Each structure stands twice: as structure tokens, then as C-alpha cells.
Amino acid sequence: MNALIKSATIVDSKSDFHNETVDILIEKGRISKIAKNIPNSQNFKEIKLDNLHVSQGWFDSSVSFGEPGYEERETISNGLKTAAYSGFTAVALNSNSNPVIDSYADITFVKSKAQNNGVSLYPIGALTHLSNGEDLAELYDMSSAGAVAFYDYQKPISNPNLMKIALQYASNFDGLVFSFPQESKISGLGVANEHINSTKLGLKGNPALAEELQVARDLFLLEYTEGKLHIPTISTAKSVELIRAAKAKKLNVTCSVAIHNLVFTDDVLQEFDTNYKVLPPLRTTSDCEALIEGLKDGTIDMVTTDHNPIDIEGKKIEFDYAKYGTIGLESAFGALQTLFTTKKTISLLTQGKSRFGIAESSINEGEVANLSLFNPDSSYTFETEHISSKSKNSAFLGMTLKGKTYGIVANNKIILR
């Protein structure tokens, strides 16, 4: 793939051209030249877009696509196209398909479906067989096939001894273990944050305590085993405190936060819109503020869209019975920019790769072209027409977002909207 990107402002602190507006010449998928003006003497494909900015390729540590088994929600092919249009060059795929991704063959299958794509897909294998929380899955075999971590998506491991054994076993091959932060006996049948709004609305409450107990338990287990732990999608102020203290003790722990848990509070539940039914649930303003502060001081290592397509039958029903989840790839950049500067937003979207063993690159001559293309200054109201996913269950519909994405240049391919 050969291309000439014209008049692009580079947003990459590792680049020799950070904050400069330049031309970028790409030959055979590699950046061959960066300069103020590069003539297109070889008649390469030109990329010239309004207020074009480029950064290192963005990474999402938690996406769900459905295939195999739930193709009516999303396919791997369309999911990766959606990721590309949304500016992501790499995604980690959850194991919550049917069948669950819990074997060498399953990892091989999903990787084969993503071959020759502009977006790199990194599969996360199930932690337990069939994600049933009873017996460990084939962790080493899946790691050999290319699994980057192990996670029973949104299913807490209730047996602490099983989590202990998982951390000990995976440490033999530097495996990364996820633990969903929820104590299921405390959360019970709760569908919304246990607080004033859940009481007013008559919704069963899922208390912050359920998350914090599980986080505290897992950090004790991590300290005992000296393993490698990732806690996905934390949502409470106390969870931030617990992880901050664990990092001060030099425990090998990272965590993420879903973008919707930064942007929305449980105040949005007044109309019982099931697009806001997510897990963990939307919390309070003080929780949002603590999560944002955790990102600023580095306690929280990465953001995720926690992109989870759900078909209309799973959402257009009573709140109590609706499935959890919102899509988030298409709205990620614009939503983050309502909270952070462009520089910080790009930093958040490019963090986390090293935790999953994914190579990082910079925008410099001689480097492989792995680029996200965007306009940071365009504001618009997010509507269904902006959604590329097969499912349309977005919590961000109707919200004013700042900044739009153009696409990516990665894996020797150009994918633009």
C-alpha cells in the first residue's frame, strides 16, 4: 500500500514532528518520509481531508462482536469495519459468543475471520470452561494460539480459590487474568446503581459495595499469588482508591473504565431507556469525578468502549428484562473529547497496548504506518445515521459529541468512511 497524506497535524508525543502540520509519505505500508511539502511524483493515492489530524493507532481492550452464534447482533467483519471507521487499529475481542471462545480451535477461528484486515484483532479467551465459573479453560493452549488474556465476560468468579489458581497457573506463561468486579451475591438481581434514583424509580439496586468487595478480594489474591491481574470496567470511587493503594504496593495490576461510566450518571435513567442499562451500572457524579481523576493520575490505565451490540429484541423490552450493554466504538472519540483535551483523549485511546503484548509504534520515518485519522474540532449530534454497527443500542444517541473520525491507515491498508 502506497499513499501520500497531505497537510496532517501529528498528535504523537513520541514523534519528531509532534504538533507539526506536515505531509506523510507511505510506501509499502511504511512511513518513508515526513516533510512540510512532499510532491506526489509517483501518483500515489492522496489523502487530503478537512482539518486532518493523525495519531498512533487507537486500541480498545474490550469489544464484543457476537460471531460465532450471535451474528444478528454483529459479525467480526462488520465489527472490524466499524472499528476502523471509528479510528481504532486494534481491538481485543471478548469471548462471549456462542459457543464461548474457550479453546485453541476457537481462538484460531476468530483470528482467521480477521485475517487481512486493516484492524488487528486480539482474542481474549474465556477464563473458565464455557465461562461457567467452575473449571479453568485451556489457558496455555489458547495462549499458544494467540489469546492475549483470559476473561469470562461480565461474569464474576465467585470461587476465590479458582481465581487464586488461575493467577498462579497463568503466571507460568505470563498470562493476563481478568476478573469482573462484582460480588454476585451482593449485587443480586440489581439492575441499576443502588442509590436515590433506583429507589425513586422502583428499580432493584446493585450497590457499589458489590464491586468494591470483589476488587478488594482480588487484590488480596493478587498479592498472595504474585500473578498478573486486569480489572475491567471499574465504576466506583472506592474501586479507584483500592487500586491506587495496590499500585503503591507494586502489585501487578491494571484496570480500565468504560467511557459511558465516565460520561453518564444514573440520573439518565428517568425515562427507563434500556440503552443506559449497562454493567457495571451507571453510578453517581462523585463516582464519575473519581474515575476521571483516576485517569488523570494514572491509577486507571486505559479507557474502553466496552462495545457490546445487542439486537432490538434484547433492548426494546421492560428495563428489568433488557440485556446489559451499549455500543461505543463510533462515539468513543467524540465522547471523550467532551471531558478531556485532544492531547489527553489521544493519550487515553492509545494506552494499554503493552499490557496485552501489542507492539507500539510512533509517527516517524522508517516506522510501520499504524495511524488513526480524525478532525478534533467538528461538533455534531450523534444519531443513528452515524452508527455502522448492525445493532443500534447506543447510550450516546442524541448527545453532542466533539470531533469526528475519518478512519485508519494500518496493516498495509487504507480504510476511510
Per the DSSP assignment, residues forming a β-bridge with 119 are none
CA torsion sign for 249, 253, 254, 256 is negative
Give CA torsion, residues 222, 227, 231, 236, to 10 deg: 20
Residue type, 33: K
* 3-class secondary-structure state, position 231: strand
266 part of the active site: no
Q: How far is CA 13 from CA 34, 350, 412, 417, in A?
A: 15, 11, 23, 26
287, 262 Cβ separation under 8 angstroms = no
> Cell numbers 493520575 label which residue?
297
Among 141, 306, 320, 377, which one carries the catalytic annotation?
306
For the record, the C-alpha cell of 46 comes out as 492522496
Half-sphere exposure of 265 (CA within 13 A, CB side): 12
166, 136 Cβ separation under 8 angstroms = yes
For the record, the C-alpha cell of 384 comes out as 443513528
Report DSSP letters for 376-400, one per residue. EEEEEE--GGG--SSS--BTTTT-E
Neighbour count for residue 99 (Cβ, 10 Å): 14
- Residues 49, 38: Cα–Cα separation, whole Å: 16
112, 166 Cβ separation under 8 angstroms = no
Task: Name the residues annotated as catalytic.
Answer: 306
